[in-house]
Amino acid sequence: MPTILGQNQYGKAENRVVKITREGDTHHIKDLNVSVALSGDLDEVHYSGSNAHVLPTDTTKNTVFAFAKEHGIESAEAFGILLARHFVDSCEPIRTARIRVEEYTWDRIATSDANSRFIGADEVQHSFVRQGQETRTAQITYDGENVEVLSGLKGLTVLNSTNSEFWGYIKDRYTTLREDYDRILATEVTSVWRHNWTGAEGVRTPNWEKSYAQSKKHMLQAFAETYSLSLQQTLYQMGARAINSRPEIDEIRFSMPNKHHFKVDLEPFGMKNEAADGAVYLAADRPYGLIEATVLRDGAEARIPFDMTNL
């Protein structure tokens, strides 16, 4: 046969699992989208169609829901680690398991209201509103020895209405852009960061929830506090701030579209439209600049695939 099989993987994608935990009348919610990808000794299912080494994707789905009940969902990362280890350790032909998770965050609905005529309204602890600011992500990979945990986020849209410039760039035959000393800088952050924890015995597991909250906070603050000469500079500051502030992180990759806000030309209508006076902008869809880069702790290995922030 003149063709051979290369890298391959399979599993059930986008299992939408919601787990409610009750502490008396106070409920907690975890809302995940879990995708399983398994690889291993799987040549035959491709060559001959023999499923003798195949754990059906339907079974991987069942496992996700059963594990949510058996073990609860402490965090996306912890849940993914449990699942990845299970598939590799319990199923002989499977050598590597990769679990990808999206997490949707819910806030409580504030029902307490001094002016409320509805008795007991302040005691409702089972009502939630989806937060919507960003989607939290995680990818856990286990190869029978080591665990690799990538945490991340996507859809986090941020904007600075000043403290952004762009000038001093290369000019060639196709250049028409004017330099700008006071522009809007806006982007929709996709970011993936790698924890240096690998599941080795005796090494303390990070507090995934706290690590996420702090990493997001540091990135947001670096975005806000950087006086920007380029979106690349802002990106680098965001990554450096996260790594410098969080010892558990060794590597972070960003995909940041430059969401252009063009100052509208109002001269034909006899109006000025200067940033300093509070300008009117057209928020453009396409095309957009797209800035992607990895920031590494000095000495750390680069392991996050370049396209991962683009999924």
Beta strands in 182-277 (DSSP E): 185-195, 249-258, 261-263
The residue range among 61-69, 77-85, 140-148, 190-198 that interacts with its own copies, by the rule CB under 8 A, is 61-69
Minimal distance, residue 224 CB to its own copies, in Å: 3
How far from each other are the two terminal CA atoms of the chain, in whole angstroms? Answer: 34
Is 200 among the residues that bind its own copies (CB under 8 A)? no
Structural tokens at position 64: 């996700």
Residues 6+ apart with CB under 8 A from 3: none
Is 213 among the residues that bind its own copies (CB under 8 A)? no
Minimal distance, residue 42 CB to its own copies, in Å: 7
The residue range among 146-154, 192-200, 202-210, 258-266 that interacts with its own copies, by the rule CB under 8 A, is 258-266
Instruction: Answer whether the bond into residue 287 is a cis peptide, omega within 30°.
Output: yes
Is 35 among the residues that bind its own copies (CB under 8 A)? yes
Site for its own copies in 159-188 (CB under 8 A): 159-163, 166-170, 172-177, 184
Measuring CA to CA, which residue among 190, 169, 188, 187 is closest to residue 179?
Answer: 169
Q: How many CB atoms lie within 10 A of CB 23?
A: 8
Measuring CA to CA, which residue among 213, 211, 85 is closest to residue 148?
Answer: 85
Member of 8, 146, 198, 207 binding its own copies (CB under 8 A): 8
Is 41 among the residues that bind its own copies (CB under 8 A)? no
Member of 146, 157, 198, 207 binding its own copies (CB under 8 A): 157
Please state the length of the chain: 311
3 state SS of 239: helix
- CA dihedral angle for residue 113, residue 114, residue 118, residue 124, rounded to 10 degrees: 40
Cα separation of 89 and 143, whole Å?
A: 9
Is 68 among the residues that bind its own copies (CB under 8 A)? yes
Q: Which is nearer to its own copies, 53 or 209 (CB)?
A: 53
Q: Which helix (DSSP H) or strand (DSSP E) does residue 43 occupy?
A: helix 43-47
Is 196 among the residues that bind its own copies (CB under 8 A)? no
Is 205 among the residues that bind its own copies (CB under 8 A)? no
Concerning whether 126 is annotated as a catalytic residue, the answer is no
Measuring CA to CA, which residue among 235, 285, 229, 293 is closest to residue 262?
Answer: 285
Concerning whether 12 is annotated as a catalytic residue, the answer is yes
Instruction: Return phi, psi of residue 139, to 5°.
Output: -135, 125
Minimal distance, residue 105 CB to its own copies, in Å: 10
Concerning whether 216 is annotated as a catalytic residue, the answer is no
Number of residues that bind its own copies (CB under 8 A): 153
Residues 6+ apart with CB under 8 A from 65: 15, 17
Which residue is catalytic, options 19, 27, 28, 260? 260
Q: Which is nearer to its own copies, 162 or 198 (CB)?
A: 162
Measuring CA to CA, which residue among 142, 21, 143 is closest to residue 75?
Answer: 21
Is 106 among the residues that bind its own copies (CB under 8 A)? yes
The residue range among 74-82, 109-117, 141-149, 204-212 that interacts with its own copies, by the rule CB under 8 A, is 109-117
The residue range among 38-46, 76-84, 144-152, 202-210 that interacts with its own copies, by the rule CB under 8 A, is 38-46
Minimal distance, residue 194 CB to its own copies, in Å: 11
Which residue is catalytic, options 19, 27, 57, 105? 57
3 state SS of 45: helix
The residue range among 74-82, 141-149, 200-208, 256-264 that interacts with its own copies, by the rule CB under 8 A, is 256-264
Active site residues: 12, 57, 260
